Chain A
Amino acid sequence: ETGVTQSPTHLIKTRGQQVTLRCSSQSGHNTVSWYQQALGQGPQFIFQYYREEENGRGNFPPRFSGLQFPNYSSELNVNALELDDSALYLCASSSPGQGNEQFFGPGTRLTVL
């Protein structure tokens, strides 16, 4: 069974740029959730995708967008990067058929200069 993977592991961007982060879900999972974790804080929910449709969204502006593909992998896109977007971005995969227990990837550390 393959676990959740994320790429890249680290990324440095400048203000105004755009970034795409990727997540491959665990085998058998059809739901991917994305979270942002600022330094010293708990993760905050960005959005969730279930069977290629957005299935819930947290309090993040529209410049945070996402996609889920037929193989249930997912992308998080952030446009017009701001300094405050510097954080660890975590994805977690789950499946309603398995009790919605979430399994996390290692995260992508984004630094915006």
Chain B
Amino acid sequence: KNEVEQSPQNLTAQEGEFITINCSYSVGISALHWLQQHPGGGIVSLFMLSSGKKKHGRLIATINIQEKHSSLHITASHPRDSAVYICAVLRSSARQLTFGSGTQLTVLP
């Protein structure tokens, strides 16, 4: 079993829909990242969080440390949000990230 599991693997939505991507992990962590990767490969860090909730524009990330679960929400989705969204955890005992396999999001106009 992978240490970081994401769901769904693929998600297709209509423009304007509310989107949720989930991440569960099985190890102790000091922080969790949500990352965005567009075709061509570059990765952009959206959030790093260790508790509670963060919001940036139409993006909201939450984390429940006790349940070892995090969610990324996108409100009023837009075709430019189409990308791969990756959850990655910084383990308590390490400085490197352990990644989920990503969620391919496609937002249709």
Q: Which residues of A contact B (CB under 8 A)?
A: 31, 33, 35, 37, 41-45, 48, 50, 55-56, 58, 88, 90, 92, 94, 96, 99-107, 109
Contacts and interface: CB of A to CB of B under 8 A. Distances in A.
B99 A43 contact: yes
Contacts, number: 67
A93 B92 CA distance: 18
Contacts of B41: 37, 88, 90, 106-107, 109
Interface size class of B (residues with CB under 8 A): 20 to 34
Contacts of B33: 101-102
B42 A33 contact: no
A100 B102 contact: no
B42 A100 contact: no
A16 B62 CA distance: 46
6 interchain residue pairs of minimum CB distance? A42-B99, A104-B43, A107-B41, A106-B42, A45-B96, A42-B101
A99 B95 contact: no
B48 A56 contact: no
A55 B96 CA distance: 9
A104 B42 contact: yes
Interface string B78-92: 000000001010100
Contacts of B100: 42
Most buried by A among B4, B33, B96: B96
Contacts of B97: 33, 35, 43, 45, 92, 102
A99 B90 CA distance: 10
A111 B42 CA distance: 17
Contact of A100 (B4, B90, B101): B90
Contacts of A37: 41
Nearest to B50: A99
Interface in B18-35: 30-31, 33, 35
B19 to A, nearest CB: 19
A3 to B, nearest CB: 10
Nearest to A102: B97
30 contacts: A31-B95, A41-B101, A42-B4, A42-B86, A42-B88, A42-B99, A42-B100, A42-B102, A43-B43, A43-B86, A43-B99, A44-B99, A45-B96, A48-B95, A48-B96, A50-B95, A56-B94, A56-B95, A90-B41, A90-B43, A92-B97, A94-B95, A101-B48, A103-B45, A104-B35, A104-B45, A106-B42, A107-B41, A107-B42, A109-B41
